[in-house]
Amino acid sequence: MEAQPEPTLFEFVRYNGWANRQLLTICMELDEGVLSADIPHTAGSILQTFGHLLRAEAGFLKRIHGTAPKPNFNWEVNPSLAQMATYATQLNEAFLETVQNVAPTTNVHEENEEWSFDYQARLIFLSYIYHGITHRTDIMTYLGRQGVALPELDVWGYQEAYPDRFQAKLVKLADA
150: domain CATH number is 1.20.120.450
The pTM of the full predicted model, rounded to 2 decimals, is 0.91
> Which residues have C-beta within 8 Å of that of residue 81, sequence separation ≥ 6?
24, 27, 28, 35, 47, 50
Instruction: Sort 48 into a burial class: Cβ within 10 Å, 0-12 / 13-18 / 19+.
Output: middle
pLDDT per position as a tens digit, 107-164: 999 999 999 999 999 999 999 999 999 999 999 999 999 999 999 999 999 999 999 9
pLDDT per position as a tens digit, 18-68: 999 999 999 999 999 999 999 999 999 999 999 999 999 999 999 999 999
Based on the structure, what is the number of domains in the chain? 1
- Spatial separation of the C-alpha atoms in residues 93 and 15, rounded to whole Å: 12
Residue 126: domain span: 7-107+114-166
pLDDT per position as a tens digit, 92-101: 999 999 999 9
Q: Is 50 helix (H, G, I), strand (E, B) or coil?
A: helix
Q: Which stretches within the chain are classed as H helix? A: 7-27, 32-36, 46-65, 81-101, 121-145, 155-161
Q: Mean pLDDT across the chain, nearest whole number?
A: 93
Q: Is residue 2 part of a domain?
A: no
> Which residues have C-beta within 8 Å of that of residue 118, sequence separation ≥ 6?
107, 108, 109, 110
> Can you give the length of the chain in residues?
176
Q: Is residue 171 part of a domain?
A: no
Q: Is residue 176 part of a domain?
A: no
